[in-house]
Amino acid sequence: MAAKVMILGACLLAATAAGAGDLPVVRHDVQARFDLPDHRVEITDRLSVPAGVDTLLLNAGVALASVARRGPDGAVEVQKYDAAFGEAAPPDTAIIRLPVAPGGRPRAAGEDVQVTLSYVARWTESTTDVTFSRENVGREIQGTISEEGIYLAASSYWLPLADKALHVYRLEVVTPAGWEPLTQGERTLHQEQDGLLTTVWESDEPSDSLTLIANRYLVTERDFGGVLGATYFLADEPALVETYLERTGAYLDMYREMIGPYPFTRFTTVENWFPTGYGMPGWTLLGGQVLRLPFIPTTSFGHEIAHNWWGNSVFVDAARGNWCEGLTVYCADYHYKELESPAAAREYRRTLLKDYAAYVRDGRDLPLRDFRERHSGATRAVGYGKSMMVFHMIDEAIGRDAFLSALREVALTHLFREASWDDFLAAFAAHGARDLAAFGEAWLGRAGAPLLRLESATRDGDRVTATLTQDVAAGEPAWPLRVPVTAVTPAGPVAAVVEMDGLRAVLTWSAPGATAVEVDPDYHVFRRLHPEEIEPTLSQVLGDPAPRFVLPAGPLADAALAFAADWVEGGDAVVVAAAADPEGHSRILVNPDLAVAQPLLPAAAQLAGGLLFLNGQRLDLATQDAVLAVPAPGRPGAADLLVYCRSAERLAALAGRLSHYGKYSHLVFPARGAALKGNWEAAASPLRAELPGKTKER
């Protein structure tokens, strides 16, 4: 559901919210009283249901007590039920369909039906084995009520929802004193009495649903220019609070300038006691471990704040593709690299192309118009990476000023309304004075990407000529491309751009003293990389759906099996001998013998006597863990993985750490401190050619 956005994962789609003129808006007045020892909540929801909504959807596992309806004519109908829990447990999200006004005539605008639902629900879902992965969406919690905490996801249908409709809420929550509930909107009441806390949250901005959390939070609040920033943390950590509040203010200022006014009255960072990385309107829910990762405040946290513009107030027209993840990456993760340096931005674009090569294979591609949410490395590479690069290519084509003006226009005109890729393309075309029809048809409607080739490059005096071609899927037309081409000269690079609307293009430009030609050297075009452009990285192994594991015997055998099981995230790990044919898959070799490992290592790494010599650095494998991506024998562009870990405890937990480091070739985890990470050098690119021509005589 669009009100829930994954930090490393997806803008979950439904018609999150649109303006009142687009979709009907259901009003809720909810009382929810929690009983923690019994894992239950008693709910009364008084709804005002407008014309256009005929059915309400509610979790099938609730114990429904009564449904009362008052129609537009004032007639009242009351149905009572035996208060027994249904067959489906609430977390299963099986739903019951409740007709709003059975047998009634179609209602005209303004003819609302008043519906009151009374029911009890129990949520007892265990949080002990929850997984939150960058690569594949693991088991997620729908609902739990216990002394550990309260969490009711919007997607559990704990409150009634309606298809093709929006919702606004007044939510009164009763919990034990000392607990702090939080949801979207403004808190308008906070009152303790007789050992109970009553809070009221009012959300007047339309949304598709509502998520609630409560726990024994320590609350800190600060004003940021009329927006309330807050932290709800489970431990007293002033330095961590200060970090997140400082970053909240900085990101709010950044995006107000970039996109426009912040659409909500508050932004709250909430710590969860089990792994999550979600963003809801006006708040984000981060697992405690994620929250404390040192890079989160300056990377993914800003991504969540940006989602309050893209995905949580300008909503996705689900039928025409999810644009919000790619645009949020552009405005957050990628933008931060731009601010860091041109080199960092270049490397970010290159990493996205490497991820596409690593993950999107074996029929796992899809057009951007078909992307809905991330559930695998392949869908992330398309829906986040390719999508971001499409926005970047438009930015390069029309210029930054026109690009940002178009973004601000969409943010203003589609506030609390659905927007589609077509709305963005129309705004970009208008502000950039450029026809983007063919671009949109190709880059949104087709799967895949071109492979560029430098057919020839020559020099005649000061004039340089380059001939480019593009490989496309059989039977498909050329991709519309705007390809940067650079001539290398003693005075510096001389750039040119060729517009390709066919499979072949010739470009001639002036570049005195040119010694070489490079095609797209800074990775501005979304394209398939040549194998020579890609050094071995973890992502090439992470992208393999069925890697082969070569595991050690002896005292680490059980830990190695646990490592393999964690790697495949609940699937079956395929264990083979070192000499076995991997059948086209990557191998993951855990503590391999020297005779097996040494021939696979690049020149920058050597093994000897329990030591790893890496780029001239001496590392002791008895106390440090090392992970090395190496070329897969006989498979250009593919990689195997060498894993060295002498501790059973660390080895069993190592796989879960590695998904955060996919872009790297080698990692070393010391006993204390940050991981040492880096990349091997890629081979010479086939998109560079030395120039054989002669210099013009003077």
β-partners of residue 116 are 46, 68
Phi, psi values for residue 376, rounded to 5°: -165, 170
451-534+686-690 is a CATH 2.60.40 domain: yes
Residue 497 CA to residue 494 CA, distance in Å, equals: 10
Q: Sign (positive/negative) of CA torsion 17, 19, 23, 28?
A: positive
pLDDT at 133 over 80: no
Q: Once rounded to an integer, what is the mean pLDDT over residues 450-473?
A: 96
pLDDT at 174: 98
Question: Which amino acid is located at 252 in the chain?
Answer: L
Tens digits of residue pLDDT in 206-240: 999 999 999 999 999 999 999 999 999 999 999 99
pLDDT (tens digit, 9 = 90+) per residue, 288-347?
999 998 999 999 999 999 999 999 999 998 889 999 999 999 999 999 999 999 999 999
Tokens of 193: 């009495």
3-state helix, strand, coil in the chain (%, to 5): 25, 35, 40
Residue 339's pLDDT is 97
Q: Is the pLDDT at 595 greater than 60, yes or no? A: yes
Identify the three-state secondary structure at position 648: helix
State residue 66 phi and psi, 5-degree precision. Answer: -160, 155
pLDDT at 16: 38
More confident site: 134 or 172: 172
Q: Which has the minimum average pLDDT: 104-108, 160-164, 316-320, 460-464?
A: 104-108
**Tokens matching residue 398:** 């029309």
Q: What is the pLDDT of residue 19?
A: 43
pLDDT at 444 exceeding the cut of 80: yes
H or E, element range at 446? none
Domain chopping of the chain, boundaries: 5-306, 317-445, 451-534+686-690, 538-678
Buried b / exposed e over 54-92, threshold 16 CB at 10 Å, is: bbbbbbbbbbbbebebbbbeeeeeeeeeeeebbeebbbe
Q: Which residues pair with 283 in a beta bridge?
A: 268, 280
Q: How far is CA 93 from the centre of its chain?
A: 23
Domains 5-306 and 451-534+686-690 share a fold: yes
- Angle CA 459–342–433, to nearest 5: 75
**Four-point Cα dihedral 252, 254, 260, 261, nearest 10:** 20
Write down the pTM of the prediction.
Answer: 0.89
d(CA 613, CA 618): 5
pLDDT at 2 over 70: no
CATH second-level architecture of 317-445? Orthogonal Bundle (1.10)
Which has the closest alpha carbon to 511: 686, 691, 688, 687? 691
Provide the 10 A C-beta neighbour count for residue 695. Answer: 13
Given a contact cutoff of 8 angstroms between Cβ atoms, the answer to whether 418 and 15 are in contact is yes
CATH number for domain 5-306, candidates 1.10.10.410, 2.40.50.100, 3.40.50.2300, 2.60.40.1730:
2.60.40.1730
Whether the CB-CB separation of 599 and 609 falls below 8 Å is answered with no
* 327 vs 414: CA distance, rounded Å: 15
> Distance between CA 364 and CA 538 in Å, rounded?
19
Query: 44 φ, ψ to 5°?
Result: -120, 125
Q: Is the pLDDT of residue 498 over 60?
A: yes
The owner of tokens 């989602």 is 307
Say how far apart CA 689 and CA 533 lie, in whole Å.
Answer: 14
CB atoms within 10 A of CB 576: 16
- What's CA 108's distance to the chain center, in Å? 41
Q: Which long-range CB contacts under 8 A does 122-126 form with residues at least 24 apart?
A: 122/38, 122/39, 122/40, 122/61, 122/85, 122/90, 123/39, 123/40, 123/41, 123/90, 123/91, 123/152, 123/156, 123/158, 124/39, 124/89, 125/91
pLDDT confidence band for 73 (50 / 70 / 90): confident
SS3 category, 599: helix
Q: Which sign, positive or negative, has the C-alpha torsion 469, 473, 479, 484? A: negative
Q: What is the pLDDT of residue 17?
A: 38
CATH of 538-678, one of 3.30.379, 1.20.120, 2.40.50, 3.90.550: 3.30.379
The backbone torsions φ and ψ at residue 283, rounded to the nearest 5 degrees and listed phi first, read -160, 160
pLDDT, mean of residues 441-455: 97
pLDDT tens track for 149-174? 999 999 999 999 998 899 999 999 99
What percentage of the chain carries pLDDT values higher than 70? 93
Structure confidence by residue, pLDDT tens digits, 3-53: 333 333 333 333 333 343 478 999 999 999 999 999 999 999 999 999 999
From the CA atom positions of the chain, what is the Rg in Å?
28
Average pLDDT over residues 111-131: 90
Question: Which pLDDT score is estimated for 7?
Answer: 36
